[in-house]
Chains A and B, each alone.
Chain A
Amino acid sequence: MFLKASFSIAPVLAGMLVTTGVAHAQENVVLEYWVYSDFAQGEALKLQQTFINEFVAKHPGVTINIAGKGDDDLLSGQIAGAASGTGPDVFMNSTSAGSSLVEAGALKNIYAEWMATPESFRAQFNKDLIAMCTPKPETMYCIPYTGYGSLMFRNLTVLEKAGVDTKAPIRDWADWLSQMEKVKASGKYGVPDMAQNWASFLNIYSGVAEASEWGADFDTKKTLINPEKYAKAADFLQKLKPFSTGTNVNDQATRDLFISNELAFYVNGPWVNPPLEQAAKASGLKYDWVMVPGATEGKKAGVQGYEFIGVAPKANAKLAFEFAAFVTEKQQMIRWAAALGRYNSNVESLADPSVSGNPLLAATAQSARTALYNKPPFFLGTFPNSYWSAITDNASAVADGQMTPDEAAADLVEELNEILADD
């Protein structure tokens, strides 16, 4: 595998080296590479270290230090590092944090370097995501890297005990609610509280809304949320309330309830699968995953988000770009997806037979085809910090019955527009 990977990427890298006119073989250079903490643990770290070793083998004198960081540490470190010049050379982050990083000057415009790579390399990536990384002509801030599409994990023991036919697909929200009624009657919980954070709310709202009805327009300073669709989602949140655990989807308690056969549905990203898989081996947890149901038959809900790899505008930027291009290249992404079952932005890698057969990856890819982007638009404007809180506050209030769905929708749109205008 290693030889195959090395040979197949060789022309790409050679092309890049020739076209960018950079050769770093003799230099003693240290690149600081910051990743999300789950990329710097266990199998993921081993694979990342393998990529680093392969790159270093072709670039004698180069040292790459990988460091895993939590979400907030990653963002604050990159912003503070941009100001002080002490930040990483090459790093990951979420596209939803892209604008903040651009504003802070943490991301180099890599358009020239990108265009200097071979066409065969550029064609490997999801075109929508390349467009996302290129918010303006000749301005490119990132190479799309990994990603996710949300899924609904189902506890089959809970559902079977409640008398739900788990082989029949969930048609729509009404069907989903009827299954939850059976679950509740059997003394178990249906879902976590889907109004407690913006992502779980979006998993509901996306069941009725289209991509153009989420996010904000920074030119007009208006939210794109459609109040009628929001009211429908809010109405459904009220209907979900009696079946809810009352806990946030990200709470350890929620996961524990699912694992201990107390919770039927658990809507989250594919990253929750490893502990569930472990529980299946250790305690016999019976579960599967399906698409998040939409309001009507045929409509699927879900959230998709992406991580990118960016380069800091520092002295070693060209070498950092080469490394970024190397780790996102097809052969590395094939190994990444095959070993970890993780979705990514390199569509050619996802089509590889060693990857496309992975059921979790296939489901994630299917989810990503219809799911709404998490916090669009990317790289174009920074959302004021109260924007997302306003959505969850409103959704929670309406779920608790403090407002009618129509009142809530009108209030929310007015509030979000005020927040955007005040910024």
Chain B
Amino acid sequence: MSSKTTRSIAHYLMLSPFMLLFAVFFLYPIVSGFFYSFFEWNAAQSSQFVGLANYTKVFTSRSFEKATWNLLVYVSITVPLGIFVALGLALLVDSFSGFWAKFFRSAFFIPVVMPLFLAATIWRWIYAPNFGLMNTVLSWFGMPSVQFLTDTGTMLYAMIAVDIWVSAGFNMVILLAGLKNVPRHYYEAARLDGASTFQQIVHVTLPSIRPVLFFVITYGLISALQVFDIPWLLTGSSFAEYGGRANTLLFPVMDMMGRGFGSVRFGQASAYGFMLTILIVCVTAVMFALRKRFGDA
């Protein structure tokens, strides 16, 4: 046996613990999920092959239509707005140095480390009708009380605000790391050429942090497509009742969980999960294609 082959075997052996764990904890659940999506299965009795019936059932259900529409609106607002806010915060923090830079960085990061249950409880108080913080402020201006979490016209936007509050700190830290890597002499050159602050951001900052922005946008899209915990907690959902009033805060992962653990329809839940996985893979692939098309810098 050549030394090259011996070395290769050693390398494969060293990789084998990872490969084994990857197969058990990643590949197997995906493959078995796909497998069960073609079966009527309630975890107890033996499964029964039903072909594409689970996909048809999910696809034609009212809740799927509602959840998909909610997701579309949510993603189209929360991802760009969230990144815009995070970028604004990153630029703000980047403009400070010393104590204040550390202070703002920590302050904006607090919602990220705060338990979501606590964050949701605080926001339910803030959004409370009549006496909540938001409605108290509105009442100072003579405005009527708004039912942020039960009025179907405001629920989604109220939830997006919470979502951005929670996620902005994380994205800010990533973007801030990108900003720190932008050579300062680029800005000096731009200033000498008479560029305004806005022009510096558009023509220097954004092109320089394009790889970081790509990561933040892709990660934001993937996270947004899997949204679950914030709407679940804000609506006080359980497996028996979820999605808030008129299913305004119903999203695909919630619907999938409800079918699985609320109604014990694991075949349908698997089909749902697989459709969602395909959607996420497609969106990610599009993001990578766009990156390839337009380049990193």
Confirm or deny: B109 has a beta carbon within 8 angstroms of a beta carbon on chain A: no
Confirm or deny: B12 has a beta carbon within 8 angstroms of a beta carbon on chain A: no
Query: Are A196 and B44 neighbours in the complex by a CB distance under 8 Å?
Result: no
Closest to B42 in A: A103
Query: Are B150 and A75 neighbours in the complex by a CB distance under 8 Å?
Result: no
List the 8 closest pairs (A to B, CB-CB), nearest first: A105-B44, A246-B129, A83-B43, A385-B258, A385-B262, A388-B241, A76-B261, A104-B43
Confirm or deny: A23 has a beta carbon within 8 angstroms of a beta carbon on chain B: no
B81-89, B120-128, B170-178, B289-297: which one contacts chain A? Answer: B120-128
Q: A197-B241, A253-B124 are in contact. Are A82 and B129 (CB under 8 A)?
A: no
Chain A contacts for B264, CB-based, 8 A: 79, 100, 103-104, 382
CB distance from A254 to the nearest CB of B (A): 9
Interchain Cβ contacts under 8 Å between A and B, 10 examples:
A72-B261, A79-B260, A82-B44, A197-B236, A246-B129, A247-B128, A252-B121, A262-B131, A385-B262, A393-B246
Confirm or deny: A383 has a beta carbon within 8 angstroms of a beta carbon on chain B: yes
Beyond known contacts A104-B264, A105-B43, A386-B63: 10 more, CB 8 A cutoff: A76-B239, A80-B43, A103-B42, A105-B45, A198-B241, A246-B129, A246-B130, A251-B124, A385-B63, A389-B247
Q: A245-B131, A246-B128, A385-B242 are in contact. Are A100 and B263 (CB under 8 A)?
A: yes
Q: How large is the interface on A (under 10, 10 to 19, 20 to 34, 35 or more residues)?
A: 35 or more
- B38-82 toward A: CB 8 Å interface, digit per residue (1/0)? 000011110000000000000000110000000000000000000
Confirm or deny: A96 has a beta carbon within 8 angstroms of a beta carbon on chain B: yes
Main secondary structure of the interface of B (DSSP, over half): loop
Chain A contacts for B129, CB-based, 8 A: 245-247
Confirm or deny: A257 has a beta carbon within 8 angstroms of a beta carbon on chain B: yes
Q: B residues engaging A (CB < 8 A)?
A: 42-45, 62-63, 121, 124-125, 128-132, 145, 147, 150, 236, 238-243, 245-247, 258-264, 266
Confirm or deny: A250 has a beta carbon within 8 angstroms of a beta carbon on chain B: yes
Chain A contacts for B245, CB-based, 8 A: 392-393, 396
Query: Are A104 and B240 neighbours in the complex by a CB distance under 8 Å?
Result: no
Query: Are A253 and B128 neighbours in the complex by a CB distance under 8 Å?
Result: yes
CB distance from B158 to the nearest CB of A (A): 14
CB distance from A75 to the nearest CB of B (A): 6
Chain B contacts for A82, CB-based, 8 A: 43-44
Task: Please measure, in the bound complex, the distance between the C-alpha atom of A196 and the C-alpha atom of B240, giving whole angstroms.
Answer: 14
Task: Please measure, in the bound complex, the distance between the C-alpha atom of A245 and the C-alpha atom of B125, giving whole angstroms.
Answer: 12
Chain B contacts for A388, CB-based, 8 A: 240-241
Task: Please measure, in the bound complex, the distance between the C-alpha atom of A270 and the C-alpha atom of B72, giving whole angstroms.
Answer: 42
Query: Which residue in A72, A96, A104, A423 is a CB contact (below 8 Å) of B44?
Result: A104
What number of A-B contacts does a CB cutoff of 8 Å give?
102
Task: Please measure, in the bound complex, the distance between the C-alpha atom of A75 and the C-alpha atom of B236, giving whole angstroms.
Answer: 16
Query: Which residue in A71, A79, A96, A253 is a CB contact (below 8 Å) of B43?
Result: A79
CB distance from A199 to the nearest CB of B (A): 10
Closest to B124 in A: A251
Query: Are A72 and B239 neighbours in the complex by a CB distance under 8 Å?
Result: yes
Chain B contacts for A71, CB-based, 8 A: 238
Task: Please measure, in the bound complex, the distance between the C-alpha atom of A308 and the C-alpha atom of B262, giving whole angstroms.
Answer: 18
Chain B contacts for A76, CB-based, 8 A: 239, 261
Closest to B232 in A: A72
Query: Are A246 and B125 neighbours in the complex by a CB distance under 8 Å?
Result: no
CB distance from B88 to the nearest CB of A (A): 31
Chain A contacts for B124, CB-based, 8 A: 251-253
Task: Please measure, in the bound complex, the distance between the C-alpha atom of A103 and the C-alpha atom of B121, giving whole angstroms.
Answer: 34
Task: Please measure, in the bound complex, the distance between the C-alpha atom of A246 and the C-alpha atom of B132, giving whole angstroms.
Answer: 10
Q: A105-B43, A105-B44, A392-B241 are in contact. Are A248 and B261 (CB under 8 A)?
A: no
Confirm or deny: A60 has a beta carbon within 8 angstroms of a beta carbon on chain B: no
Task: Please measure, in the bound complex, the distance between the C-alpha atom of A80 and the C-alpha atom of B41, giving whole angstroms.
Answer: 12
Chain A contacts for B44, CB-based, 8 A: 82-83, 103-106
Max chain B CB contacts within 10 Å: which of A189, A246, A375? A246
Query: Are B131 and A257 neighbours in the complex by a CB distance under 8 Å?
Result: yes
CB distance from A330 to the nearest CB of B (A): 32
Chain A contacts for B147, CB-based, 8 A: 246
Chain B contacts for A396, CB-based, 8 A: 150, 245
CB distance from A312 to the nearest CB of B (A): 11
Task: Please measure, in the bound complex, the distance between the C-alpha atom of A238 and the C-alpha atom of B46, giving whole angstroms.
Answer: 49
Query: Which residue in A245, A375, A382 is a CB contact (below 8 Å) of B263?
Result: A382
Max chain B CB contacts within 10 Å: which of A105, A253, A257, A388? A253
CB distance from B182 to the nearest CB of A (A): 44
- A55-86 toward B: CB 8 Å interface, digit per residue (1/0)? 00000000000000001100110011011000
Confirm or deny: A163 has a beta carbon within 8 angstroms of a beta carbon on chain B: no
Q: A103-B42, A105-B44, A253-B125 are in contact. Are A385 and B239 (CB under 8 A)?
A: yes
Query: Are A252 and B125 neighbours in the complex by a CB distance under 8 Å?
Result: yes
Task: Please measure, in the bound complex, the distance between the C-alpha atom of A401 and the C-alpha atom of B19, giving whole angstroms.
Answer: 60
CB under 8 Å from chain B, chain A span 333-385:
375, 382-385
Task: Please measure, in the bound complex, the distance between the C-alpha atom of A196 and the C-alpha atom of B125, giving whole angstroms.
Answer: 16
Chain A contacts for B243, CB-based, 8 A: 389
CB distance from B269 to the nearest CB of A (A): 11
Query: Which residue in B42, B121, B236 is a CB contact (below 8 Å) of A104?
Result: B42
Query: Are B130 and A96 neighbours in the complex by a CB distance under 8 Å?
Result: no
CB distance from A260 to the nearest CB of B (A): 10
CB under 8 Å from chain B, chain A span 267-319:
none
Chain A contacts for B266, CB-based, 8 A: 83
Task: Please measure, in the bound complex, the distance between the C-alpha atom of A76 and the C-alpha atom of B141, giving whole angstroms.
Answer: 46
Query: Are A384 and B263 neighbours in the complex by a CB distance under 8 Å?
Result: yes
- A102-132 toward B: CB 8 Å interface, digit per residue (1/0)? 0111100000000000000000000000000
Query: Are B236 and A248 neighbours in the complex by a CB distance under 8 Å?
Result: yes
CB distance from B9 to the nearest CB of A (A): 35
Query: Which residue in A100, A103, A389 is a CB contact (below 8 Å) of B241?
Result: A389
- A196-229 toward B: CB 8 Å interface, digit per residue (1/0)? 1110000000000000000000000000000000
Chain A contacts for B238, CB-based, 8 A: 71-72
Query: Are A251 and B128 neighbours in the complex by a CB distance under 8 Å?
Result: yes
Chain A contacts for B63, CB-based, 8 A: 385-386
Task: Please measure, in the bound complex, the distance between the C-alpha atom of A382 and the C-alpha atom of B42, giving whole angstroms.
Answer: 12
Chain A contacts for B259, CB-based, 8 A: 385
Closest to B258 in A: A385
Max chain B CB contacts within 10 Å: which of A79, A83, A385? A385
